Structure 1
């Protein structure tokens, strides 16, 4: 079993993933109607060369456009619910992260994602917060929501319950989609700022269906 240790891999992978996400996200964020119905479930299995694997599920996801908190005509908002789960094969451990990809059609001087509602994790308290993300016209932003470690050969789950997304300074159509990113390996760890493990380094990204913000 070969070992690997890569300095700053998480940072490098994150930068590459952001560029790829922006390209994919722009294709899915365009003019369209409001999406108030439940969103499709999703599944992905990422396998390594030595038989390792991490499976990822997105279930029970829904998004409902809602009035903007600012109520000034230049804001867009929605509430999102869903369950995001990852299962590692024997000997494999890693991390699951839930993100939101957000874009606005016209001139944006600043994007504020007001993240409210609750984030529930097994044996963890609810979390909430807010983020301010500057965007130039035509760009999209990837907002980190939360993440959780996957124990060796185990299952990790993150549940969003009426999770609020509030976009300010958006004068046109706005859209968003969830992203579930899983990484792992046998003996996976990020000690001393490096990503370490044995065998194959597994990385998987599961995209949700775009939904509109009111």
Structure 2
């Protein structure tokens, strides 16, 4: 049976079986599920050469565009909710990480979520606020930002990440804004990350896949 080893992947923190991220402040201003626009569910399975399998799901998704108090057309804000899960077949463990792919005056529906292409993709670090993210991007730019939680799953168990009214803010976007979620999963049999040098090791096939959510416009 083959073995894999991969460098440069950061270990994610988190010990809860269910990880939840909630925005504060705006959630109490009449932005409940009744006013939210539903987004499509999704599921994706990947298989390895030795029969390994990981299934990723995205469910109960919705978004709500929040009117800005300044009303000057120079910013956009949305509240995003959804539940993401990852589960491996027998002996398969791994990690689930959620990202936000967003653009200002850019249609992200066909964007692959990689750093190549014709778009101007900003560096990963950005201003992180409590319960959400702020994306200071200009028209024609796009960025991929990690949600500040990841969840590992052991063999035979399932990982969950839940977003509830997670705030996505576009402070400098003068045109329309577009966004979508990316649920990335990595794993394999005997999947393990070294505390010393972040080396990923395991047996069989190393699996990695991305489940893209439905794109939505932020008005």
Q: TM-score, normalised by structure 2?
A: 0.72
Q: Which has the higher strand share?
A: 1
Deviation, structure 1 residue 114:
6.4
Confirm or deny: 8 A CA contact 1:75 1:170 kept in the other structure: yes
Is 1:212 aligned to residue 201 of structure 2?
A: no
Which residue of the partner structure matches residue 92 of structure 1? Answer: 92
Name the Cα RMSD after superposition. 2.7
Which residue of the partner structure matches residue 121 of structure 1? Answer: none
Matches within 5 A, 1:29-178: 37-68=37-68, 71-105=71-105, 115=129, 128=131, 130-131=133-134, 135=137, 137-145=139-147, 146-178=149-181
Confirm or deny: 8 A CA contact 1:112 1:168 kept in the other structure: no
Deviation, structure 1 residue 190:
1.6
Confirm or deny: 8 A CA contact 1:114 1:166 kept in the other structure: no
Distance change in 2, residues 1:79/1:45 (3 Å): same
Q: TM-score, normalised by structure 1?
A: 0.74
Which residue of the partner structure matches residue 3 of structure 1? Answer: 3
Confirm or deny: 8 A CA contact 2:137 2:173 kept in the other structure: no
Confirm or deny: 8 A CA contact 2:80 2:163 kept in the other structure: yes
Paired residue total: 176
1:50 match: secondary structure:
coil
Which residue of the partner structure matches residue 188 of structure 1? Answer: 191
Confirm or deny: 8 A CA contact 1:89 1:154 kept in the other structure: no
Q: What is the distance in 2 between the residues matched to 1:115 and 1:61?
A: 22
